[in-house]
Structure formats: structure tokens, C-alpha cells
Amino acid sequence: MVTVAASVYMISVNGAVAEVAIRIPPPVIDVPVEPNTSLQTAVFAGGCFWGVQGVFQHTKGVLNAVSGYAGGEKETANYRSVSTGKTGHAESVLVTYDPKQISYGKLLQIYFSVAHDPTQLNKQYPDTGTQYRSAIFFRDANQKRIAEHYISQLEAAKVYRNKIVTQLNPFTAYYPAESYHQDYAALHPESGYISQFDLPKIANLKRLFPEQYREEPVLVTSQSMAKARVSVEK
């Protein structure tokens, strides 16, 4: 069994805990960073997509991070419907990354450490409902294997006080969210919600993963929305 002493970082805003980040070990099983590999995608859900998107937009090796919906049908893949918690979707982020710069395992480490709390069932801090669940939508057998082993590794190391509740679901389709949801943390840093729950995530990324942190985020709005909406449906 691997044991680690977890370091917990909390940021308080007006006396309320805004974010918890835990220093966790990297995955034992990972895909090595290789020079002759094409771009890859990964889909992560962990509460409101604003903060998860913001974290990965500040991660080196990530070329695009698009907020959207996974786990449900196309007909109800819109914010009004998803917000009911009855469509089966999870607010998610589609991450396009360069495996020559960052591995899938490193993305998982950032996801489990600073992007969200994987021990909260169907919620993240003030947001509750199945649409805010912790979930990984794996694109292939390799992503599933790495994620499964990493969860087992973290559980064995007793990194968290509570059990990891992250779901592992096969990817079926991904639907980009409405344009006003894209780049929300970057465009609205003055928002009370963003300042309390999302900016601390980015600060924790910089603190815990300085080698992966990038000061200037890669934004959806700086790219062609047509390119951002390139079909990723099977």
C-alpha cells in the first residue's frame, strides 16, 4: 500500500471555505508523454463547468477546454433542461490536449486535486443535483484503465477523508454549452461566485502544479466557435 501525507489547502472568503485542494501523488499507471502522438481529448465533470473549464484553460498542454453537457441526449442538452437535474447530463468540460506536452494521468491528477472535490456526491459546494456529479467520461479502454487504477491508488493511499464517488462512464456524445457559459471564469472574475469558488481553484493550480500552470488561459472565444464545435459525437 502506498501512503502519503496529504497537504490540504483551503481558501476562506468571508469566513466560508471556498475551495479545498489536496496535494496528491501522480498516477502510477499513465501514458508516457511521447513526441509522435496526435491530439487527444478527455471529458471531465466536477460541479459547475465554469471552474473546471477555468482550471484546464490555465493548464499547459491544453489547447482547448469547452464547457458543455455529457451523459444525456441531444434534445435536452441545454442549460434550462439540464438544470432540472432530470436529463441525465452532467455539466462537463471537453479538454483537447497535446500528449507531447501533458499526459492523461497528469490531467487526472489536476482534476482530482484542484478542479473539484471527488468525494461530494451529486454536488459541489453550493451546487446540488446530479448535473453537478463527479464523473469521467472515458474515450477508450486505456483512459478507463488509467482512471480506474488511479482511483484505486488514491483510495488505498487514504488521501481523502471520505470515499471517492467519481463515476466512470463511457463517452457517448458531448454537446457544447451556450456561448455565454464559455470562458465564464476568465470573463467574469468580479462575480461573487467566481471569486469564491473558481478563482481559488486556479490559484491552487498555480501553487500545487507550477510546472503545468500557464498564466494566460487558452480561451474558447479566442478561437473559432466552429472549430470548438467540431463534432465529437460517435
Longest alpha-carbon distance in the chain = 49
Angle formed at CA 128 by CA 154 and CA 43, multiple of 5 degrees = 50
Residues in the chain: 234
Residue 178 C-alpha cell reads as 451556450
What is the distance between the terminal CA atoms of the chain, rounded to a whole angstrom? 39
Residue 97 C-alpha cell reads as 490536449
Grid cell 486535486 is found at 113
Residue 115 C-alpha cell reads as 478542479
Beta-strand relationship, 123-124 and 127-128: antiparallel
Measured in whole angstroms, the distance separating CA 55 from the mean position of its chain's CA atoms is 7
Active centre residues (catalytic)? 48
